[in-house]
Chain A
Amino acid sequence: MDCFQDTVFKLKRYWADRGAIIQEPYDIEVGAGTMCPETFLRVLGPQPYRVAYVQPSRRPADGRYGENPNRLYKHQQLQVILKPSPEDVIDQYLGSIEAIGIDLKKHDIKFEEDNWEAPTLGAWGIGWQVMLDGLEISQFTYFQQCGGFDLELVPAELTYGLERISAFLQGVDSVYEIEWAPGVKYAEVRFADELQSSVYNFEVAQIDRLRLLFNEYEAECKRLLSLYDGKSECKKRFPVIPAYEQVLKCSHLFNLLDARGAISVTERVGMIKRVRDLAVGAAKMWVDQQA
């Protein structure tokens, strides 16, 4: 039986063999692998790109103090971007599932409509949730728009819910029972993080300070956006990626505030728009800078 990390190794190997760069997780909090610059910025523009990485993804509202067997504040996502998507992309995807030891001739796999949309990123795509014996194991999306841009080359984004897949492979009912490394359970690696992050997010974090931080990161991003000069000869030096990192900070702070129930009806719409405006601004800069 493969432990959690074996499954990760196999998936990375599989996609490396198909020309993907194996990246490491991004070092700023994100809600999904899609938000990493490796996806959000790289899908823009005419450059082909293939990349795969595991991304710990934080969803403050999903925290359950480590008590719920299936729900996590921070889950591990394997994210694959194939830009442009190859003609046999679904076969390649199915191959990856077989590569981790699932004989699809003996299982039931279905592709059920599930279109993806991220209002804070000005992004959406068309696709499916992939169901294996009734379990959603992946999201499969053909990106159509990102940062408000219609994409020139349509990338396929494949995301694997690693905890779910491992629990399935190992036949356990709780993610905390997953064997991460031989003899080491998921709980030993992650439980403290789940418990303490839930305590912080739901009880200890200060709403006023979170707001303050949000405003600061937003201000810094806006400052950078206003400094960018597309006609400058040294525009390639311009810190577009750091500007985008401020967007990620804002997005995470927004999620924290939301989990605290600190965002009112009218404010919510407004804050989503504030984040989107920053994301769209960063995307514009990136496209211009790469041109």
Chain B
Amino acid sequence: MNFLLEIGTEEIPHWMIPQALDQLARIDLLGARPEVDATPRRLVVRAWGVPERTPDQEQIVKGPPVSAGEKAAAGFAKKHGVDASALRKLGDYYELHKVVPGRDAFEVLAATLPAAILAIQWPKTMYWTSKQGPRFIRPIRWIVALLGDGILDFEIAGVRSGDRTRGHRRLGAAQIQVTPKNYESELRKNFVIVSSKERRDKIQKEAAALGARLDPEILETLTFITEYPTAIRGAFETSYLSLPEEVLATVMKHHQKYFSVESAGKLAPAFVAVMNTNGDPEGLVKRGNERVLRARFNDARFFWDTDQHRKLADRVEDLRKVTFHARLGSYFEKTQRVIALVEELAGNEHARRAALLSKTDLTTEMVKEFTELQGVVGGLYARAQGEPEAVARAIYDHYRPAGMEDEIPSTREGQIVSIADKLDTLRECFRIGLIPTGSKDPFALRRAAQGIVKILVEAKLEYDFYALLTPELTDFMLERVQHYFREVRGFKYDEVNAVLASSRGTLADVEQRLIALAQVRPTENFEPLAASFKRIRNILKQAGFEAGASLQESLLEPGPERDLYDAYQRVRQRIQGAGYRAALEGIASLRPSVDLFFDKVLVNAGDPAVRVNRLTLLSDLLTEFSTVADFSEIVTSGEQK
């Protein structure tokens, strides 16, 4: 049978809809596969081929022991409403095989759907009938619940399910009778496009035709705040193009949810808005949106002009009044710490100046209005106020990278200020115990840590990574390093472990080692040698060996032992001063000698002096050749899970 569930609500926040649909897609429909979709006012589940009944089930009820006699058996049978002859014996007991008839799908679904609907997890819920009433994301106003031609009858929050849906708020009918089959077409007649894909496509097609720069984020937002999207194009006076492009774009994107328009690679004085209606024949909506944008741009211009009355340099003291965190003081104090860190990182005069001014834009009208432009506004103002370009650029960039896709600051000064700012946040938060757990990371510390790693590696900065960390930060930061090299750069996890186990230095160096390791790894000698190194490590461990005495050449037995020693010496000399790749190739070339040694030589020799000497040889080998990467961390094909 065909199934349709439509939960009619007041407008659900667009960003919550996809995750609600994921949950609805797991709803139990007696084995039928739920197909889900949504508009801001309706969550929809459809399925084809829902069975009419649940299958019959056999149930086994354990009865009295056979030894209790036939009377007990008769009593047991009577209690279950069957004749004693229906009982079976299993071992020493009677048992009854009962057939529990399947239940009617209507009955099952009407009973289970209300709880399933209310079980959807939302980021924030409300109650609307009364304090004791059910909670949902927004009030539920109607419910369509159909199975075939029949209504699945239930009630949530005083709303009884039925077969009536509602159209677009102003263009559609208030009561529309539907069936699972005609649901979508009936709604379309009433200016509701149920399919989010179709809405997305419609927006994309229309906006592109109007010249929009298709920002995927706005596209997604608009798909879920409209039931019948239609794109229109508006314009603004060319004079506003004198405002920084960053400000114009932010107003259009974040505040008005408009697509911006480009011509010849530059921002054009136009925008594309998406309405939740079918057209704007009189141009009323276009004019309204243009008016709003004009007012916004006027505001921005006003903020810009007002803000210039007081230079960034004069605003440093004002930061005493801006809270960084209730327990960590003001941005003034943060600024002082960041400057100290910039000095620690050997930042130049421009970097120090940028650090001093980096947070002052928080006191400007522009950033109070457009918080997402923090940093950017500071950079633009610094430039306008005659600060050196290196200072302006560093301020502009210092929140970067905003994510793994974002670029790192483009100048050395910007990189240093960005690292100092993030490192301070991390150190201070960890110091007072504000440590991210699971999905909770309210201060975006993971992103800050990831940003530091990305800058250190990609700018090839010469800072000893470990020296930057406080003890409580070490594990957290190493985790971000691993994450970066694995998820962003695609190195294998054991390669990352191998390099990190032997490296103590800059992350740029870690990167070089990883590149070399990944190149040498597929060569024929490498993995077998890695396996041998692991064996060496185990042997040394089992022997409780501690390096002390130096190797005595005289005790080396001619043959494989002596050969290994000679090969070791040769390789050692050869790779001195060589690059990581050459070094790794050299080490890999030891494989035949190592194999032969293990094949022919007994480490556990009878003579204690010989034994210690052999262990020393192995230990030297391991230590000497683990400086690039610790091969024993490499998972060889034989042991892969």
Contacts and interface: CB of A to CB of B under 8 A. Distances in A.
Interface centre among B130, B225, B292, B302 (most CB of A within 10 A): B292
Nearest to A168: B288
Interface stretch (B6-14, B49-57, B105-113): B6-14
Interface in A161-201: 168, 171, 173
Interface in B185-229: 225-226
A94 B40 CA distance: 17
B534 to A, nearest CB: 56
B131 A133 contact: no
Contacts of A112: 11, 225
Main secondary structure of the interface of A (DSSP, over half): loop
A68 B302 contact: yes
B553 interface: no
A126 B138 contact: yes
Contact of B320 (A67, A152, A264): A264
Contacts of B170: 94, 104-105, 109
A69 B300 CA distance: 12
Interface in A69-126: 69-71, 84-85, 87, 90, 94, 104-113, 115, 126
Given A108-B277, A134-B288, A85 B128 contact: yes
A261 interface: yes
Interface stretch (B321-329, B378-386, B398-406): B321-329
Interface residues of A, number: 44
A168 B129 CA distance: 35
B295 A70 contact: yes
B291 A151 contact: no
Nearest to A143: B126
Interface centre among A71, A126, A263 (most CB of B within 10 A): A126
B443 interface: no
B141 interface: yes
Given A108-B276, A265-B329, A126 B292 contact: no
Contacts of B226: 110
Interface in B266-296: 273, 275-277, 280, 282, 284-285, 287-289, 291-295
A264 B323 CA distance: 9
Contacts of A173: 291, 294-295, 298
B600 interface: no
Contact of A70 (B126, B285, B299): B299
A108 B290 CA distance: 13
B142 to A, nearest CB: 10
A134 B321 contact: no
Contacts of A67: 302
Interface of B: 10-11, 13-14, 40, 124, 126-131, 138-139, 141, 169-171, 225-226, 256, 258, 273, 275-277, 280, 282, 284-285, 287-289, 291-295, 298-299, 302, 318, 320-323, 326, 329-330
Interface of A: 64, 67-71, 84-85, 87, 90, 94, 104-113, 115, 126, 128, 132-135, 142, 144, 150-154, 168, 171, 173, 261, 263-265, 268-269
Given A109-B276, A112-B11, A154-B126, 19 more contacts: A71-B299, A107-B277, A108-B273, A108-B277, A108-B280, A110-B225, A110-B226, A110-B276, A111-B10, A133-B285, A133-B288, A134-B273, A135-B292, A142-B128, A142-B139, A144-B127, A153-B130, A171-B291, A268-B323
